[in-house]
Chains A and B, each alone.
Chain A
């Protein structure tokens, strides 16, 4: 007898529906599987056979053939066990074929028939809804995650027998998910009010976020660079529902959704260690998994100790930062992952970390230049704002006076972003940091005296063309923060103050 059932796998962020066909016919007693299978899918044969046996189903001495189609898509992942098992049962006549119409099944099973949770349930369920499935059968452990997609019926089961009983007509009763999701159990984000002093970096941070400019902090160890970076997601505007879903899908593929099963409500903050490989950053593998840049989608990618990263690793960042997505081409196909993040980097001023405090730093000038020169220049070209985080004195560390909270900074940031949304309506860009040099004249217009002044600055500070545009973009953001349509002199000056480090080292 023949049976057919639908399941799906995740390819990049897309899901592809896969048909699982089973046929039981006379012949040599074998259990055969075909259809471009990865080794973990091939192993499903043993799991399914044993699980069926252990659940009390008799496998007759017949020829059982499983085909997964379309045959040109490589099948990987552990979600095929359950659909194969059910397809076999249907082919054996245990389940009626009608019960499996427009039903999507996925899950891993263990030898005793228990159904194990798998990765990537969220995008698959979304796909099922999109293709007009009426029901999804999923592992109980993934129930909370799958329920994030409203409008599709879910059957979450703990073991094979239970599923079969539902398919035979028993009514399904929704169970409480493993961990009841609740909107309020999020760990509160760290707040800017916990940071004493460092007013320069606070302000530079605010400007950077308000225009989505990439941001560099230079300072000695222990000056609070990481602390500040951790608080940046908290002053970005809250994520819209679609954004939350987008981010959650990426995390679902990696099996990194929060334990309570809710959506990713907070903006991601990713801080990969500097030993990370290029593939770890970009996403990789024969069937590529999202890398750190995709995990930081809609959030902050923080690279601490920038000069320690391998050059080849950092070069990876260039294209995704421009395109806001990364395209990975493998033998098995082309995969696209979004990577729209704000880059925040931190570094020490020199090898020992204490320059320009000559009492503690005895690095030679050439050593300092060499240390700073280690950083990839193309990457620095994409960073608009730079500020120093100096070492703090004891009194500042222990001061009691209240600091401004993230919430109040966020209000100003959101107002500035709102101005940008209005300005760039109908244009492909969204933030000041994305203004192209050809559009400078349109968005960052200067009057005659300002042009003359900028010419003077350009020559005095030995700026490059790129450096000049960065200043204009930053000035635009500062003006937006002040709710001003015109860029004024003081905005330009402040932007100059946050420009990238000296020409002597970096340009």
Chain B
């Protein structure tokens, strides 16, 4: 750990001193090391710092063993960057309450990398899952990174899509970066670290808490050039992200849903209020100026290898999942034959059974 970082880490850890005050201190003094050197009287002269704050800073100085803590921090294998550094993500510095420090595992998004946030419901439908995966994959194709919150559902599938497409992806967490939350996302957690980075403004070891999630949403939108909402109920955390994006002047796109889809109420509402609408992923990428790559090829090859009846069944699959009963109705093929065809498509790796007799495109 560098010398100056030790002081930065100390300053970040002073209880009761928030991002705004830290920023003022740094603006006034120049660096954390300078702040460390100030006397109490001098501290009180800093604009925006009250006597109480100065007291807290002095107390922090007394109780905090800089060397020891720095060693401890180094063991965590977590990197830290503060607004004092030049390579602190520029996009975040425009935020009114830009975090003083970011902790991360993996890498930070480079300044010239285009980023898109994919956010949405945790309990998403199969359709939402398909859209998020596809979006992530196509963005990766265009060399754009996917930013999201690693929550279950849409967030995770956005990340997965990017990873599947061989692209980069960043997760902003609502807890310490050393904590994998949700716990079920262990695999994804590892993958994101390799194919991008895990970011958090919270100190390592901070457990997830409800109040921290809306705050991290501002970082998700802050880090992204565009926010894409896939599925959101009327009251959804994703809408908070959209609000932040609006404040920050980012572009917002929403994937529309049917009128009676509770899971799309939030998205449809956003569209009504004037956000962008995703009618096709192709068009979205064009509109954003991301260069899409040809993708038709892959589809053509798979279709050639199918028999006529298999093709008939396969063509029933779009972004929506289908259950056996619906397919019987759509194709008018008897169940016994259809069951055979479905298993054949499964073994060919084109569809998957995600719940008993419910299938979706892979």
Residues of B within 8 A of A366 (CB): 184
B357 in contact with A358 (CB, 8 Å): no
Is B283 interfacial (CB-CB < 8 Å)? no
A501 in contact with B337 (CB, 8 Å): no
Our pick among A358, A363, A365 for the contact of B128 (Cβ within 8 Å) is A358
Q: How far is the CA of A4 from the CA of B44 in the complex (A)?
A: 115
Q: Whole-angstrom distance from the CB of A288 to the nearest CB of chain B?
A: 38
Q: How many A-B residue pairs have CB under 8 A?
A: 102
Is A140 interfacial (CB-CB < 8 Å)? no
A199 in contact with B328 (CB, 8 Å): yes
Is A493 interfacial (CB-CB < 8 Å)? yes
Q: Whole-angstrom distance from the CB of A505 to the nearest CB of chain B?
A: 9
Is A61 interfacial (CB-CB < 8 Å)? no
Is A355 interfacial (CB-CB < 8 Å)? yes
Q: How far is the CA of A493 from the CA of B326 in the complex (A)?
A: 19
Residues of A within 8 A of B324 (CB): 200, 387-388, 497
The chain A residue with its CB closest to the CB of B183 is A366
Encoded as 1 (CB less than 8 Å from any B CB) or 0, chain A from 314 to 332 comes to 0000000000000000000
Residues of A within 8 A of B343 (CB): 457, 493-494, 496-497
B325 in contact with A199 (CB, 8 Å): yes
B152 in contact with A200 (CB, 8 Å): no
Q: Which A residues between 420 and 463 are near B, CB-CB below 8 angstroms? A: 453, 456-457, 460-461
Residues of A within 8 A of B346 (CB): 460-461
Q: How far is the CA of A244 from the CA of B281 in the complex (A)?
A: 66
Residues of B within 8 A of A168 (CB): none
Residues of A within 8 A of B262 (CB): 359-360
Q: Whole-angstrom distance from the CB of B234 to the nearest CB of chain A?
A: 13
Is B335 interfacial (CB-CB < 8 Å)? yes
Given contacts A364-B152, A460-B346, A493-B340, contact A200 B335 (CB under 8 A): yes
Is A299 interfacial (CB-CB < 8 Å)? no
Highest count of chain A CB atoms <10 Å: which of B122, B349, B355: B355
Highest count of chain B CB atoms <10 Å: which of A198, A363, A478, A496: A496
Residues of B within 8 A of A355 (CB): 355
Is B273 interfacial (CB-CB < 8 Å)? no
Given contacts A200-B335, A218-B356, A387-B356, contact A356 B321 (CB under 8 A): yes
Q: How far is the CA of A32 from the CA of B341 in the complex (A)?
A: 78
Q: Which B residues between 7 and 50 are near A, CB-CB below 8 angstroms? A: none
Q: Whole-angstrom distance from the CB of B244 to the nearest CB of chain A?
A: 25
Encoded as 1 (CB less than 8 Å from any B CB) or 0, chain A from 349 to 375 comes to 100000111111111111000000000
The binding surface of chain B is classed by DSSP as helix
The chain B residue with its CB closest to the CB of A490 is B340
Is A241 interfacial (CB-CB < 8 Å)? no
Q: How far is the CA of A360 from the CA of B125 in the complex (A)?
A: 10
Q: How far is the CA of A363 from the CA of B357 in the complex (A)?
A: 19
A493 in contact with B328 (CB, 8 Å): no
Residues of A within 8 A of B349 (CB): 460
A358 in contact with B124 (CB, 8 Å): yes
The chain B residue with its CB closest to the CB of A395 is B329
Given contacts A199-B325, A359-B262, A494-B340, contact A388 B347 (CB under 8 A): no
Is A203 interfacial (CB-CB < 8 Å)? yes
Is B342 interfacial (CB-CB < 8 Å)? yes
Is A242 interfacial (CB-CB < 8 Å)? no
A502 in contact with B124 (CB, 8 Å): no
Q: How far is the CA of A441 from the CA of B349 in the complex (A)?
A: 29
The chain A residue with its CB closest to the CB of B354 is A356
B356 in contact with A388 (CB, 8 Å): yes
Residues of A within 8 A of B341 (CB): 493
B128 in contact with A478 (CB, 8 Å): no
B152 in contact with A365 (CB, 8 Å): yes
Q: Whole-angstrom distance from the CB of B52 to the nearest CB of chain A?
A: 43
B347 in contact with A460 (CB, 8 Å): yes
Q: Which B residues between 280 and 311 are near A, CB-CB below 8 angstroms? A: none
Residues of B within 8 A of A338 (CB): none
B323 in contact with A390 (CB, 8 Å): yes
Q: How far is the CA of A66 from the CA of B143 in the complex (A)?
A: 100
Q: How far is the CA of A498 from the CA of B342 in the complex (A)?
A: 11
The chain B residue with its CB closest to the CB of A217 is B356
Is A212 interfacial (CB-CB < 8 Å)? no
Q: Whole-angstrom distance from the CB of B235 to the nearest CB of chain A?
A: 12
Is B96 interfacial (CB-CB < 8 Å)? no
Q: Whole-angstrom distance from the CB of B88 to the nearest CB of chain A?
A: 36
Our pick among B263, B321, B328, B339 for the contact of A497 (Cβ within 8 Å) is B339
Is B126 interfacial (CB-CB < 8 Å)? yes
Our pick among A197, A359, A362, A478 for the contact of B336 (Cβ within 8 Å) is A478
22 A-B pairs within 8 Å (CB atoms) are namely A197-B325, A199-B334, A200-B323, A203-B334, A355-B355, A359-B261, A364-B123, A365-B152, A386-B356, A387-B324, A388-B323, A390-B326, A390-B357, A457-B343, A457-B347, A460-B347, A489-B340, A494-B336, A494-B339, A497-B343, A498-B339, A501-B355
- 11 further interface pairs, Cβ-Cβ under 8 Å (given A387-B324, A498-B339, A502-B356): A197-B325, A199-B325, A200-B323, A358-B123, A358-B126, A388-B324, A453-B347, A460-B349, A496-B339, A496-B343, A497-B340
Chain A interface residues (CB < 8 Å from chain B)? 197-200, 202-204, 218, 349, 355-366, 386-388, 390, 453, 456-457, 460-461, 478, 489-490, 493-494, 496-498, 501-502
